[in-house]
Amino acid sequence: MRHKRTNLETELRANRPQPSDEFVNRLEGRVREGRRSRAGSFRVAFAGSLAAGVLAALASVGGLGYASNATGEAVQKAKRVVKSSHGTAVVRKSPSRDQYGKPKVKKKAKKKAKKKAKGRAFARPPFTG
């Protein structure tokens, strides 16, 4: 009885219906393709969530303000460097200036208007010789 049952079980396993190789290959390809596309979207979602997590962590310790300050300073420094390299430098003290003369700087002479003293006249004592 035991032997018979074992035979039947073996037979059932051995004669298990098998799909055609073509069907297996086709379905396997579809499954792998489906997995790949899902894995791609999962990767994008993972990267996004990671970035959001980093931002949240930074914001919680004031890192965002620090980062924005640092960025602002860097921008200012970069601007300065760029400006000085492209702008016209005016040299005020140079041998050529000494040789060809300094540009005359016209100073407006202050006219000191003599104001007549108003009010009580000054009385000088008479010349007596």
| Interacting positions 56-85 with another protein (CB under 8 A) | none
CB 75 within 8 A of CB 81: no
CB of 42 to another protein, least distance (A): 8
Check binding of 48 to another protein (CB under 8 A). no
DSSP state of 1: -
Q: Select the span of 27-35, 72-80, 92-100, 104-112 touching another protein (CB under 8 A).
A: 27-35
- As a whole number of angstroms, the distance between CA 17 and CA 88 comes to 88
Select the residue interacting with another protein from 2, 13, 111, 120 (CB under 8 A): 13
Which structure tokens are listed for 30?
Answer: 């579809």
CA atoms within 13 A on the CB side of 69: 5
Q: Which residues bind another protein (CB under 8 A)?
A: 4-5, 8-9, 11-13, 15-19, 23-24, 27-28, 30-32, 34-35, 38
